[in-house]
Amino acid sequence: MISFENVSKKYDDGTYAVNNFNLHIKEGELLVLIGPSGSGKTTTLKMINRLIPLTEGYIKIKDKMISDYDIHELRWDIGYVLQQIALFPHMTIEENIAVVPEMKRWDQAKIDHRIDELLNMVGLEPKTYRKRLPHELSGGQQQRIGVARALAANPPIILMDEPFSALDPLSREKLQDDLIELQKNIKKTIVFVTHDMNEALKLGDRICLMRKGEVVQTGTPEELIQQPVNEFVREFVGIDQGNRTTVDVREAIQPVTAEELNNLPVVAPTVSINEILSLLSEHEQLAVEEMDKIIGTIDRRGMIRILSRQMEGMK
Ligand SMILES: Nc1ncnc2c1ncn2[C@@H]1O[C@H](COP(=O)(O)OP(=O)(O)O)[C@@H](O)[C@H]1O
Ligand SMILES: [Mg+2]
């Protein structure tokens, strides 16, 4: 869906913000770009919709060079959510959401219907919120409107630059959970920037870890945990995946009926990270057995959630 081929961004002062970057982002995946501050995440994101021009290499969207797209078409067909709440302060919530549909000249009835649909989608009652101004909403609610606005004209691609970092931990966790739910239904291609590995593990189908403008490793959360390519990845991921490191899976198990159990591999409630990730790479679910009794099942999402929580606790 989005391909970077040997892409670099060199500033006039000679700084390479991004250096020989290669990545293929698949249709419908949520790809997380992560790395320390200054590693080139924002630059990489902004090159996709040409907010920053690249200086070497090329980027293709659906096999077409971004330079060959009409700039309006490109911007309107790519939703963009920023960290700083970027709603227009003097416009109501409905006006904020309607910006792109209006530029696309949708008729009013269609826009109206879409606003209701989007507000419901992000969990804000249309009747209550349509006519409000941004400052009459909490930070978390404003970020929800930011997400709704990015989705408004139904773009196939959404770029999100640290969208939840300014929020308090509770709102942030709630918005992360809601994004996972939302993505199950909308299946957009999402490029999500964060510097928080906990967030990356929780949200990412795949994670691309950057340092100094370069890709260090791209892979699934499990791959980064189990097969870090170097010490930098190991430290950044922050989970020692050694055989002796165990995890308690009880908090993420789901109830199960006897029929559903057919021949699932069985694990104990306390199990090594390595063992459970290896099993989950081959089986959708595992049965968890405690004192000769199956107490439920665990799947990949549940396991990643536990690891990501465990890291939160170590901070
Ligand atoms: N206009 C500019 N001129 C020179 N260097 C810049 C400019 N904008 C950004 N940079 C540099 O590019 C690098 C990458 O920045 P950025 O993409 O914002 O990183 P991140 O989003 O990962 O924190 C940083 O070293 C930053 O200082
Ligand atoms: Mg940034």
Q: Give the pLDDT score at 39.
A: 96
> Which residue, by CA, sits nearest to atom 14 of ligand 1?
40
Question: What is the DSSP annotation of 60-74?
Answer: EETTEEGGGS-HHHH
Residue 248: Cβ within 10 Å count: 12
Structure letter (DSSP) for residue 164: T
Of 183, 171, 159, 174, nearest to 81 by C-alpha is 159
Q: Whole domain around residue 126: which residue ranges? A: 2-237
> How many domains is the chain partitioned into structurally?
2
Out of 192, 213, 237, pick the residue that ends a domain.
237
Which percentage of the chain shows pLDDT scores above 90?
Answer: 67
Distance between CA atoms of residues 70 and 10, nearest Å: 24
Distance between CA atoms of residues 225 and 55, nearest Å: 33
Residues 136 and 255 in one domain: no
Integer angstrom CA distances of residue 8 from 16, 70, 125, 238, 253: 7, 22, 44, 29, 44
In the block, tokens 């919709």 appear at: 49
Distance between CA atoms of residues 24 and 225, nearest Å: 21
Ligand 1 contacts (CB < 6 A) are 11, 13, 15, 17, 35, 37-43
254: CATH? 3.10.580.10
Residues 202 and 250 in one domain: no
- Bridge-based pairing of strands 64-65 and 56-61 is antiparallel
Residues 187 and 97 in one domain: yes
135's tokens: 């400052």
Q: Say which ligand is closest to the CA of 162.
A: 2
Q: Give the pLDDT score at 58.
A: 97
Is the pLDDT confidence value at 128 over 80? Answer: yes
> Taking each helix axis from N to C terminus, what angle separates 169-186 and 139-151, rounded to the nearest 10 degrees?
20
Sign of the Cα torsion 115, 120, 126, 132 reads: negative
Integer angstrom CA distances of residue 285 from 77, 190, 240, 295: 37, 26, 23, 13
What is the three-class DSSP state of 283?
coil
Show Cβ contacts of residue 313 under 8 Å, excluding neighbours closer than 6 positions: none
Residues 194 and 258 in one domain: no
Atom of ligand 1 nearest to the CA of 16: 12
In the block, tokens 């930011």 appear at: 146
CA dihedral 54, 60, 64, 69 (to 10 degrees): -40
Residues 137 and 91 in one domain: yes
CA of residue 38 to ligand 1 center, whole Å: 6
Residues 250 and 119 in one domain: no
Is the pLDDT confidence value at 85 over 70? Answer: no
Is the pLDDT confidence value at 143 over 60? Answer: yes
Q: Give the pLDDT score at 191.
A: 98
103: CATH? 3.40.50.300
pLDDT tens column, 152-201: 999 999 999 999 888 888 888 888 998 998 899 989 999 999 999 989 99
Residues 156 and 291 in one domain: no
Atom of ligand 1 nearest to the CA of 43: 17
Is the pLDDT confidence value at 132 over 60? Answer: yes
- The H or E element that residue 144 is part of is helix 139-151
Distance between CA atoms of residues 195 and 35, nearest Å: 5
CA of residue 292 to ligand 2 center, whole Å: 50
What is the three-class DSSP state of 181?
helix
Residues 193 and 295 in one domain: no
Strand runs labelled E in 77-183: 78-81, 157-161
Q: Give the pLDDT score at 188.
A: 95
Residues 102 and 176 in one domain: yes
pLDDT tens column, 221-264: 999 998 999 999 999 988 765 556 788 888 889 988 877 777 88
Of 286, 279, 277, nearest to 247 by C-alpha is 277
Residues 204 and 222 in one domain: yes
CA of residue 174 to ligand 2 center, whole Å: 22
Out of 211, 237, 263, pick the residue that ends a domain.
237
Out of 237, 272, 298, pick the residue that ends a domain.
237
